Chain A
Amino acid sequence: MTTNESFYHLPEGTKLPAFCQGTACFVARHVHPQRWREAAQQTRRLYCLGKCHLAPASLKDSARPLTQVHASQAIVLERIAKRVAPTLAAYQAQGGYQALEKARALAPEAIIRSIEIADLRGRGGAGFPTARKWRAVQTEIAKQKYIIANADEGDPGAYIDRLILEEDPHCLLEAMAIAGHAVGANKGIIYLRREYPAALTTLQTALAEIQKTDMLHPFAIEIHLGQGSYVCGEESALLNAIEGKRPEVRTRPPYPSQHGLFGSPTLVNNVETLANIPWIIRQGGAAYAALGFSKSRGTKVISLNSLFRRPGLYEIEFGMSLRQIVEDLGGGLKHGHLKGLIIGGPLAGIVPPHLLETPFGFEELHAIGAAVGHGGVIAFDEQTSIGSLIEHVFQFGAYESCGKCTPCRLGSRRISEMSWQSEEWSDLIAALRDTSLCGLGTGLAEFAESIQRYYHQELEDLCCKSP
């Protein structure tokens, strides 16, 4: 296992702060004001422990979230919802590693073809067709190729990968080995965030178990630990982090599939994306594509925050309406009224209550300025003013900016400190939207624009009140 600071010279050391300051914790700060106060006073910030169902959360909180399947097939939560132990024996008893065996009997192209038929899209946020990525790496000719599992689930509000890592680690290892066979890579790296200490333990145990057998051979997997950086969740920044470089987003082209880790063709997939793979290999791409709707096929795991009456992880089929998610799954809010939904992290548009009929799907959410993202669903109520939400999100953005691009490095801080609705505000949002390299800057702009669009009235009131 190798580790490195996600950014050189993290001045405050590597010990994790005690309290989470993620967006789910922020919108739930009134539930436990004392804890939030302490969180806000920490010299070093901590954006998301992935315990949003307990928000405002602390490092010590350990209660397991509810895990339910609301799809006609359980895929990602297949074993997690059934509370299958994360051991090799239990995994094998459930048919684990049969997919790897099956895949190894297949030609690489056949594997990629089933993923293509499944119409699987990346679950990390971008929704890019997974088969295209695999094929791009597969067709490269190189001595060395890499499979990287992106386990840097940094989107505040999401804790899907955390549960997969903690409760179904062998599924990830199996999927990586399948990917290795499909694209011609013999080396896998799991880039894991140190904010998930329990995941590290289960992964290490699982790796030790599988390494005692020769089931993965010749495929080898190691863990690389990172910490404290949202940007590292972006695949090219993640590659830089593993290389020991400053983890800034790389300009494309070249794409990681051509010129990835140490210049070698590299497949970077999110944990949940990979967790679908063994099922697709076992059941076939068509069975997977039969689920879901529109251009969003299969299932998606979503994570609901603590303000819901029934927070937890739900595996749903694409196409379920946001209202069903809020009311049928979440059971509505514990207190107060729903003021908006933050889906897929704060760096995207917010969904106001009047758009709850929108179906959960990549294109459908995009059409209303929002995104599937990684599937975190944070509801907030009237306790959170739009002004304070803007401040929170831009402080998050400014803190997480790597510093490469001018608008993000300087503009996000400037916005977090200024009064809204000035001409400068619009200029800065435009600069973020149009001149940022990566999703951090553009996501901040999308957030700001949705606020302007849907919470116009409250903003105007704010302006009138401010001196």
Chain B
Amino acid sequence: MLQVSINDQRYDFPEGMTILDALRQLKIEVPTLCYDERIEAYGGCRLCMVRVTGNPKLVTACQTPLVDGMAIETHSPEIENLRKTNLKLLATHYPQEAVEKNPHKEFHRWLYAYGLEHEACGKFDLHKQDRSHPYLSIDMSQCITCYRCVNICNDVQGQFVWQVNGRGDRSQIVPDSGTTLLESTCVSCGACADTCPTGAIADQSGQDQARTYTRTTCPYCGVGCEMDVGVAQDRIVTVRPALNSPVNRGHLCVKGRYAFDFVDASDRVTTPLIRKNGQLTPCSWDEAFAAIKSELQRILSESGPKSLGLLGSSRATNEENYVAQKFARVVLGTNNVDCCARVCHTPSAAAMKWMLGTGAATNSFDDIEVARTLLICGANPTENHPVIGARIKQRVLQGAKMIVIDPRATELARMATIHLALKPGTNVLLLNAMAATLVEEGLMDKSYLANRIDGFDAYFNFIRPLKPEIAASICGIDPEVIREAARLYATEKPSMCFHGLGLTEHTQGTEGVMCLVNLALLTGNLGKPGTGINPLRGQNNVQGAAHMGCDPSILTGSVSVQGERLRFEKVWGATIPSEKGLNLLAMMDAAGREELKALWVIGYDVYLTNPKMHETRQAFEKLKFVVVQDLFLNETAREFASVFLPVASGFEKDGTYMNAERRISRVRRVVSPRGQSKTDWEILCEVAAAMGKGEHFPYRSAEEIWNEVRSVWQEAQGISYARIEKHGLQWPCMDLEHPGTKILHAETFSFGKTTQIKSIPFEPTPEKTNAEYPFLLTTGRNLYHFNAGTMTQRTPNHHLRKSDFLDLNPLDAHHLGLREGETARLISRYGEATLPVRFTHDVKPGEAFATFHTPEFYLNHVTSGYRDRKVHAPEYKVTAVRIEKSNRCARSLV
């Protein structure tokens, strides 16, 4: 403890604080304008200056560390006068109107506090305004040159958009475009607006109108950022990042922060619909429930429970997914239940469960700042998990090494120490070649090998010949570069892996993850800070949906139906079918064969997003009865729903999500459900009751459901709503005293001390290029849109990214006679789509990349029906295509 005197009072403080930290803790207010706890203290405004006895000069409280025995004076008349002088200098040319209009802005507040509000004598200047951006409004006549925007853009987002031109009193803060913010490299994270102490950079939405703020968890990706949603008159007006969140540390991305307008989009459906004469027409809930009950009961009696299936939603809460799988098993009597994890990270969950015992990230986001090497495999976090992408960027800017395995030169690949730009579909070959290098060059962690790994001798014989020199030509990478990457991963430890769908969405997706796990095992990069295998989960609750049991073979807590059925039956007081269920893809196949007759789909546009669209269509067309729960008439609902049930959005209900680092965080009702919409769990409970199974679904709140989850899932027993009131907790968390688990497998794996290292031979995908289909297409997402675009396409994000594009290397485009912005026909063996073309060197010649956010483009007409050999995830990442100039006009891009 440090003993410190502040204004003649004695205090004790722990080490590692600044003077300002201490003052804030004591609620002694000193003015600050350039300070923000998210950035390194800048010390430019010179307002927080205090006197430290023995120091000839005043010091900045924000930058000066607290030292034992320090005597600090904060508010002498002399110091206050200096503050006043500096504040007055800042006020002189500041627009008076701004101060009057918004007295609560940080700078204005200090002017009032020092009685200087009338010193602001300037005027708004139209020439200093920039209204180009859909979310941010710029008025540099209100800029006091505190550099917070510059520093937060550099130190938090790592984008370096805001730059300072000139010097002295001619310093001007401008976007890197030199023109407007829209034309700059801005990624619209909004951090600058969040930190700006004046109105110079502000959200166009009603930051100032918000009456109440409610803490909740972001409804977009699997990072699970905590945020405070500002509401006025039951409408969301603004979103701010939770400052002290361990996940996002006061940061958000363009989706979480700004893309909330979908909640009140004009085409949101808020009444139940029923298909009559081919038309979906409004009906009452009773009518909808009656139709569902009679149809399901009819099909059940005619074809048995095997003919029914249900898909939970990665967008819905844990509680809702728990109810959904229980509904499938208890009410429908089938294990035909799955969710969209099937098409993304089920390979990760399966591979990691088999090899490590737990099918979830081994480490936490906080390990990023500990890792000395980051291995990013088939993931593009700066677009798809932007807040984690930003943390990774900062870590690399601080000097950490980074290896990126990706066919494309993504933003992280461009700043990587080593970019392994492999040919799509050759992950296993490449990862094995890295492992062979480790073995050949003796770079293994010998003690880890001895203590934690079984079967190394067999593996050694298998892997040794699979050298980089053999993989090189097929992967398209120089063997020495592969060796360098392996050396880096093994020697600059701790090394942390993040992987994404570039690894999993392949015929060898599960096996690819297993190969990655092998690398971590060989080098001992597991169970320690700054290490691990960490799947970057795509959706807010995709980890949770599957973990709650929306999977044909597992029950809540990721335990097998076969093994744990009886335990669950006791708690539920109901029978659980023992018959093996069908997964999503198998259900589609069964529907095609007319064995599956009815499908209930919750918050998931299956038709649009499944691969090989014409087969999906054929399957849906044969289904007798389709129930869709969603906010909007998505493509599945529009084309195939027999009954559509309007549901509450993530902002309109209570519950929890599970993020990519196993954290259970609270979701809160921020606004009321729109129109007649109900939460997913309410709907399921009501139908269960209608079908005579109400006794098994007696819930009155999300918390009651969660408590039942805790009763069946031991690793979550310690996670009560009370404990996650402020911040989420990471499972395993065995009891109410347990602090949660940041790092798995430290001493033992979930099934024991040792694990078997696995020999995985490379099996090339049957999807191959030839003269007719010479290009390899991969598909993915971009920063501004989310998956099927259901939410983001209904927000001003479409001004930031107007369309999907086919990204082509200019060389190829030139050969094809395509010009930028022209539309191209993308033809595969399975179908075709038409997209506007964009030139980029990020894509290698012979390859192409397209996003799939715009429903009208139906990109999945093109993708193949090949699936992961173990768990059936579709191979979205490799399709052989032909590209032709199209005469059809794509949607206007302007």
* Chain A residues engaging chain B, CB cutoff 8 angstroms: 7-9, 11, 229, 246, 251, 263, 398-414, 427-428, 430-431, 434-437
Segment touching A, from B85-93, B188-196, B200-208: B85-93
Contacts of A411 in B (CB 8 A): 85-86, 89
A412 to B43, CA, bound (A): 18
> When the two chains form their complex, are residues A407 and B171 in contact, meaning their CB atoms are under 8 A apart?
no
Distance between B72 CB and nearest chain A CB, rounded to angstroms:
15
> When the two chains form their complex, are residues A246 and B164 in contact, meaning their CB atoms are under 8 A apart?
yes
Contacts of A413 in B (CB 8 A): 168-169
A8 to B167, CA, bound (A): 9
Given contacts A406-B45, A435-B49, A435-B58, contact A399 B168 (CB under 8 A): yes
Contacts of A229 in B (CB 8 A): 167
Distance between A429 CB and nearest chain B CB, rounded to angstroms:
10
Contacts of A399 in B (CB 8 A): 168
Considering the complex, give the chain B residue whose CB is closest to the CB of A402.
B167
> When the two chains form their complex, are residues B46 and A427 in contact, meaning their CB atoms are under 8 A apart?
no
Distance between A4 CB and nearest chain B CB, rounded to angstroms:
14
In the complex, B431 has a CB within 8 A of chain A: no
Contacts of B676 in A (CB 8 A): none
A246 to B145, CA, bound (A): 14
* Chain B residues engaging chain A, CB cutoff 8 angstroms: 41-47, 49, 57-58, 60, 63, 81-82, 84-86, 89-90, 92, 145, 147, 163-171, 399
Contacts of A405 in B (CB 8 A): 44, 46
Contacts of A427 in B (CB 8 A): 81, 84-85
Distance between B750 CB and nearest chain A CB, rounded to angstroms:
41
A401 to B164, CA, bound (A): 14
Q: Which of B45, B58, B169 contacts A398 (CB 8 A)?
A: B169
> When the two chains form their complex, are residues A435 and B92 in contact, meaning their CB atoms are under 8 A apart?
no
Can you list 21 A-B contacts with CB-CB less than 8 angstroms, sorted by A residue number?
A7-B167, A8-B163, A11-B165, A251-B60, A398-B169, A403-B170, A406-B86, A406-B89, A406-B90, A407-B86, A410-B92, A411-B85, A414-B92, A427-B84, A430-B85, A431-B46, A431-B89, A434-B49, A434-B57, A436-B46, A437-B44
Considering the complex, give the chain B residue whose CB is closest to the CB of A400.
B168
> When the two chains form their complex, are residues A437 and B163 in contact, meaning their CB atoms are under 8 A apart?
no
Distance between A445 CB and nearest chain B CB, rounded to angstroms:
11
Contacts of A412 in B (CB 8 A): 168-169
Contacts of A9 in B (CB 8 A): 163, 165-166
Considering the complex, give the chain A residue whose CB is closest to the CB of B60.
A251
Distance between A343 CB and nearest chain B CB, rounded to angstroms:
22
List of 6 A-B pairs having minimum Cβ-Cβ separation, nearest first: A403-B171, A401-B168, A410-B89, A435-B46, A431-B85, A427-B85
> When the two chains form their complex, are residues A410 and B90 in contact, meaning their CB atoms are under 8 A apart?
yes
Considering the complex, give the chain A residue whose CB is closest to the CB of B81.
A427
Q: List 16 additional contacts besides A406-B45, A408-B168, A427-B84; criterion CB under 8 Å.
A: A251-B43, A251-B63, A400-B167, A403-B170, A403-B171, A404-B42, A405-B44, A406-B86, A406-B90, A409-B168, A412-B169, A431-B85, A431-B86, A436-B46, A437-B44, A437-B46
A244 to B63, CA, bound (A): 24
A401 to B63, CA, bound (A): 21
Q: Which of B41, B43, B85, B147 contacts A407 (CB 8 A)?
A: B85
A229 to B45, CA, bound (A): 22
> When the two chains form their complex, are residues B168 and A406 in contact, meaning their CB atoms are under 8 A apart?
no
> When the two chains form their complex, are residues A430 and B90 in contact, meaning their CB atoms are under 8 A apart?
no
A11 to B164, CA, bound (A): 12
> When the two chains form their complex, are residues B58 and A434 in contact, meaning their CB atoms are under 8 A apart?
yes
Contacts of A437 in B (CB 8 A): 43-44, 46
A8 to B41, CA, bound (A): 22
Q: Which of B47, B81, B169 contacts A409 (CB 8 A)?
A: B169
Given contacts A411-B89, A437-B43, contact A403 B169 (CB under 8 A): yes
A436 to B90, CA, bound (A): 15
Distance between B779 CB and nearest chain A CB, rounded to angstroms:
38
> When the two chains form their complex, are residues A7 and B82 in contact, meaning their CB atoms are under 8 A apart?
no
Distance between B54 CB and nearest chain A CB, rounded to angstroms:
16
> When the two chains form their complex, are residues B46 and A407 in contact, meaning their CB atoms are under 8 A apart?
yes
Q: Which of A263, A398, A406, A430 contacts B44 (CB 8 A)?
A: A406
Contacts of B86 in A (CB 8 A): 406-407, 411, 431, 435
Contacts of A403 in B (CB 8 A): 145, 164, 166-171
Given contacts A398-B169, A404-B44, A435-B46, contact A409 B145 (CB under 8 A): yes
Distance between B74 CB and nearest chain A CB, rounded to angstroms:
14
Distance between A144 CB and nearest chain B CB, rounded to angstroms:
12
A239 to B82, CA, bound (A): 30
Contacts of B43 in A (CB 8 A): 251, 404, 437
A425 to B313, CA, bound (A): 68
Q: Which of A7, A402, A406, A428 contacts B46 (CB 8 A)?
A: A406
A431 to B84, CA, bound (A): 9
> When the two chains form their complex, are residues B166 and A7 in contact, meaning their CB atoms are under 8 A apart?
yes
Query: Which of B90, B92, B168 counts the most A-chain CB atoms under 10 A from its CB?
Result: B168
A402 to B41, CA, bound (A): 18
Q: Which of A8, A401, A435 contacts B82 (CB 8 A)?
A: A435
> When the two chains form their complex, are residues B44 and A401 in contact, meaning their CB atoms are under 8 A apart?
no
Considering the complex, give the chain A residue whose CB is closest to the CB of B44.
A404
A259 to B76, CA, bound (A): 35
A139 to B58, CA, bound (A): 30
Q: Which of B42, B44, B47, B85 contacts A428 (CB 8 A)?
A: B85
A410 to B195, CA, bound (A): 22
Distance between A261 CB and nearest chain B CB, rounded to angstroms:
14
A189 to B474, CA, bound (A): 46
A33 to B168, CA, bound (A): 29
A246 to B89, CA, bound (A): 23
Contacts of A431 in B (CB 8 A): 46, 82, 85-86, 89
Query: Which of A8, A401, A403, A405 counts the most B-chain CB atoms under 10 A from its CB?
Result: A403
Considering the complex, give the chain A residue whose CB is closest to the CB of B58.
A434
A9 to B81, CA, bound (A): 36
A7 to B170, CA, bound (A): 12
A409 to B84, CA, bound (A): 16
Contacts of B164 in A (CB 8 A): 8, 246, 403
> When the two chains form their complex, are residues A398 and B168 in contact, meaning their CB atoms are under 8 A apart?
yes
A402 to B165, CA, bound (A): 11
Distance between B83 CB and nearest chain A CB, rounded to angstroms:
8
> When the two chains form their complex, are residues A401 and B85 in contact, meaning their CB atoms are under 8 A apart?
no
Contacts of B147 in A (CB 8 A): 404
